[in-house]
Structure 1
């Protein structure tokens, strides 16, 4: 499919309780590459196979959670048009100047009805993945450090008014609905998975009374064997595991959910099918989330912590 408009998830900025402890987790255990620190004390990291300067930004704070989540758009003209479209829809936008984040151009920020801050940007310094552009090798030494995911894949956010959130993403930003879980009334959506590409999802939301909550950031691995290896590395390093290794019915993804030292959940993920915008969305009933295997297909059960623990 033609890649226009929003290209992909670009960065997640998360709050941590102890910065150096978090850096150790994301750099040495998860296996990301530290790419810089700024005057505000924020630490920037990228996955080894990502070309852009950063995809995770860590900031020390007195409570964990998500500051904002950003998407990269095709070019500056696209950024200008999308800001105009957001304003026409009735959303207030803020222009954040280039350089406020390291190696990142001008950003357009807006708040969703769910209480989350979303950003769009067109420019970020390309630092490459450590491989030559011509006749490259398939991996680098950085890909052997820790779990070593290849990219930031998606995020799941909890908050209210996800019906309106869905409209903003589909009618303004050009996403499409891939899967949904119905609420017990079998009419409204309790959860939605949306894509701007032909990935099974680039962002997801669950209806939740508290605004602005982070459920998880997800990092892509290449194979089920790498997911199993990730579980070994987590166990060796005392990383608290929430669920997995297992397989979702929803998205068909293979997964482990675990917590960073501040209590922010993260996912190591692989698989999922490749949808297209003309596909009919897959619907799960609320009962299907548990007994139907939507969350945990092998065990066909719900996990209380997965449904209730957010930051």
Structure 2
């Protein structure tokens, strides 16, 4: 499919409670590649097969959660046009100067109806994956086997109020499409939207929740079900607290583990799913069957998954 407008997820800035503890986790347990530290004390990471300078930023704070989630757009002209489109839709924007994040160009920041902050940007330094662009090896042994070793930061699930307004903003202005959705128990309202700007089943998802601006999880993509099971071994060896152990989703059909970083930010190790064409109709899940949408192996609606956010 043609890639225009908003291309893909680009970065997430995550708040952690104990920086040294978090650095050990993100470096050695999750196994992300550290790419820098800025003057404010933020640390930058990427998946081993990502080419951009970073996709995950962590900073110390007095409460866990997410500061903002960014998307890469096609080019500077697209960035400028999308800012105009957001303003015309009634959304206020802020220009963040180039260099405020390491190796990143100007960003356009806005707040969605759910209370979350999002960013759009067109430029970030390419650092590659260590294998080069000429006759590369299929994977880099220095990074692809260290810790869980995600390929990339893949998507994000956010909790907040008024997700219908978020859906309208993302579809009408930013060009996303709804791939799957979950009905609320009343059968009339929508409890969750899974949305894509690319070839994936979801690049962002929203769940209705009374508190604004909450993080449910950041998802990290692995290559195979075997790598998810390897992640389970590493999670167990490091006594990482687990929310949902290895299973398959009905929603998006991905295979998954959910666990928490040392600050209580949930993360997912994820693989599989499917690649929907833009003309496909969205898949609907009724709430009475959503247990199988969440955990297709057991059909269980895990209470922790529905209620614990950061």
Using structure 1 for the length normalisation, give the TM-score: 0.99
Cα offset for 1:182? 0.4
Instruction: Map 1:1-311; keep pairs closer than 5 Å.
Output: 1-140=1-140, 141-290=142-291, 293-311=292-310
CA RMSD of aligned residues (A): 0.5
Residues of 2 paired with 1:27 and 1:192: CA distance? Answer: 32
Question: Deviation digits for residues 33-66 of structure 1, max 9, x if unmatched?
Answer: 1111111000000111000000000010000000
Residues of 1 paired with 2:9 and 2:215: CA distance? Answer: 15
Residues of 2 paired with 1:3 and 1:190: CA distance? Answer: 29
Residues of 2 paired with 1:213 and 1:51: CA distance? Answer: 28
Residues of 2 paired with 1:32 and 1:247: CA distance? Answer: 24
Structure 1 unaligned regions, length at least 5: none
Cα offset for 1:149? 0.6
Residues of 1 paired with 2:116 and 2:151: CA distance? Answer: 26
Structure 2 unaligned regions, length at least 5: none
Cα offset for 1:90? 0.2
Partner secondary structure for residue 79 of structure 1 = helix
Residues of 2 paired with 1:48 and 1:284: CA distance? Answer: 34
Cα offset for 1:277? 1.5
Cα offset for 1:20? 1.2
Cα offset for 1:259? 0.2
Partner secondary structure for residue 144 of structure 1 = coil
Cα offset for 1:288? 1.1
In the TM superposition, structure 1's runs of 4+ consecutive aligned residues that sit over 6 Å from their partners are none
Question: Deviation digits for residues 130-157 of structure 1, max 9, x if unmatched?
Answer: 0121111001121010010101100000
Using structure 2 for the length normalisation, give the TM-score: 0.99
Partner secondary structure for residue 194 of structure 2 = strand
Cα offset for 1:247? 0.4
Residues of 1 paired with 2:200 and 2:188: CA distance? Answer: 26
